[in-house]
Amino acid sequence: MVTLNRIYTRTGDAGKTRLATGQPVSKTDLRVEAYGAVDETNACIGLARVHLTADPELDAMLGRIQNELFDLGADLAMPAKADEEAGSKLRILDSQVARLEAEIDSLNDRLPALKSFILPGGTPAAAALHLARTVSRRAERDAVRLVESGEPVSAPAMRYLNRLSDHLFVAARWANDAGKAEVFWVSGGTR
């Protein structure tokens, strides 16, 4: 458990922060960008959950995901080392990715087939989940940039980020009255 007795430290006043390893980095470091976007995703999900009191099933899924996003942030904030002993650091697990996939399938099986792209919006919960989806896609792109720069990111963390946006898309559809309140894109409809 983390104990935070003091909220401000003044150590970031010069644009620097520290990774979980203690290594000082710029606040614009690719790793900081990646776990920052994960934090933004978590906030968007929190906003969606405010509107889900009538859907305890989806609310429970999203509550679990919010906790896992803190795990993901910790994973990203602690670069993996080649000689790292399995289980010695908080890392995303393949079982967490598998759970996301199972929930995607469970929700999607109860939704009507898509015949067009949908416009983000509908119910307040769905709109917030669409926002969370787009922010999670940014987090994934940030993590990909991190990997492409030669920095280590665990494979399960990358898979989790990829499945997360799919989960949030299906969750948004579900939050739109199981697809009944969706607004579809009309190609060229404003010409």
Which 3 state secondary structure label does DSSP give 119?
Answer: strand
Which residue did the predictor score with more confidence, 31 or 22? Answer: 31
Whether the predicted pLDDT of 148 surpasses 60: yes
pLDDT per residue as tens digits for the range 166-191: 999 999 999 988 777 778 887 877 78
pTM of the model: 0.88
Q: How far apart, in whole angstroms, are the C-alpha atoms of residue 145 and residue 119?
A: 28
* Of residues 66, 19, 12, 64, the one with CA closest to residue 39: 66
Q: Are 80 and 152 in contact (CB under 8 A)?
A: yes
